[in-house]
Amino acid sequence: MKVLVTNYVHPCLISGLEEMGYEVTYDQNFDPEQLEAILPSLHGIIINTKIKMTAQRIKRGKQLRFIGRLGSGLDIIDLSTAQQCGVAVFNSPEGNRNAVAEHALGMLLCLANNIRRGDAEVRQKLWNREENRGFELAEKTIGLIGFGNTGQALARKLSRWALRVTYTDPYVLDIPEDLANIESVTINQLQREADIISLHVQLTEETEKMINEEFLSNCKKGLVLINTSRGAVVETRALLQSLENGHLSGACLDVFENEKPHSFTTEEDQLYDRLYSLDNVVLTPHVAGWTHASLRKIAETLLTKINAL
């Protein structure tokens, strides 16, 4: 049985698949245009964002038994077609949920304490203490939109801090016992009460551009927004407008609507230039779940799920 792995993975994933009896093609520079030709011979494929498993591709893979996703987002896979064709779909949010939670918290603390600006100023031999006076998280309310793997991981870290943690998620069914004290609220209550909102949702028709002008206008003035989920969940233009007019006091963004600067249109180039120029944002290049530990844990998670197939 043949498996194609198209992205850099921990070596234990390759050796583990081989121990299960799979013949593995491991090509980090795999050209997506070659996929159509080899799909009929594949029994499994493990992908990241550079390859989308469309309905057409899934149907072409007549022998496919599984599709493995390095990470959590399933928007690159046509799930309904996979189900119709009997192809198992495995993602691995258990592998990077801790990394994402730590990153979100780190970005928030960086923003709250003006660490990015302070670091740049000290390197220029500037000593602006009063101008870099920050704010504390204690006694604030943080609202988590989405309470799955990463939402729960962040809540677990914050539950011992002296702040109120709330969440909204219509799809979560079972809350772990150690998080039973985290308060479930409606989306409207979260908008009214949260000083900080952190997004932990999949990209779906329901969540695309969910954070738009209307949503933000109904949030508490001075809100800080954190997005480590998917860029298209937030409408960049609306976010920028809220930051520029002062309705939002800051944002921590690891993901963006367009994550390929070389493909920016003239309009996008101007839009992102305005965002990048703001002093009250912390920006990273979609690396929230990108740690050495998560590389291995993602591999181990997929191996466990594939082995149980």
The phi, psi pair for 116, rounded to 5°, reads -60, -50
* Catalytic position from the list 259, 262, 274, 300: 259
**For the chain, what's the residue count?**
309
For range 143-162, the mean pLDDT: 96
All structural domains of the chain, each given as residue ranges with its CATH number in brackets, are: 2-91 (3.40.50.720), 95-283 (3.40.50.720)
Per-residue confidence (pLDDT) for residue 218, from 0 to 100: 98
* Catalytic position from the list 230, 267, 268, 296: 230
| Alpha-carbon torsion angle 137, 138, 144, 147, nearest 10 | 120
Per-residue confidence (pLDDT) for residue 270, from 0 to 100: 97
Q: Which two tokens stand for residue 16?
A: 């583990």
The per-residue pLDDT for range 242-295, each reduced to its tens digit, is: 999 999 999 999 999 999 999 999 999 999 999 999 999 999 999 999 999 999
Q: For a pLDDT cut of 90, what percent of the chain falls above it?
A: 96
CA 138 to chain centroid, in Å, comes to: 25
User: Does residue 286 carry a catalytic annotation?
Assistant: yes
Short-list 21, 25, 19, 20, CA closest to 39? 25
Give me the sign of the Cα torsion angle 242, 115, 129, 223. Answer: positive
Packed helices 266-277 and 236-244: angle between N→C axes, nearest 10 degrees: 40
The per-residue pLDDT for range 192-239, each reduced to its tens digit, is: 999 999 999 999 999 999 999 999 999 999 999 999 999 999 999 999
CA atoms of 222 and 249, how far apart (whole Å) = 5
The per-residue pLDDT for range 177-200, each reduced to its tens digit, is: 999 989 999 999 999 999 999 999
User: Does residue 230 carry a catalytic annotation?
Assistant: yes
Per-residue confidence (pLDDT) for residue 25, from 0 to 100: 97
DSSP 192-210: HH-SEEEE-----TTTTT-
Q: Are the C-beta atoms of 64 and 271 separated by less than 8 Å? A: no
3-state secondary structure of 228: coil
The per-residue pLDDT for range 104-122, each reduced to its tens digit, is: 999 999 999 999 999 999 9
Q: List the Cα angle 254/256/259 in 5-degree steps.
A: 105
Per-residue confidence (pLDDT) for residue 173, from 0 to 100: 84
Per-residue confidence (pLDDT) for residue 50, from 0 to 100: 86
Packed helices 93-112 and 149-158: angle between N→C axes, nearest 10 degrees: 50
Q: For a pLDDT cut of 70, what percent of the chain falls above it?
A: 100
DSSP 35-70: HHHHGGG-SEEEE-TT--B-HHHHHH-TT--EEEES
* Catalytic position from the list 164, 247, 286, 296: 286
User: Does residue 97 carry a catalytic annotation?
Assistant: no
Chain mean pLDDT for the chain: 97
Residue 49 has pLDDT above 90, yes or no: no
CA 36 to chain centroid, in Å, comes to: 28
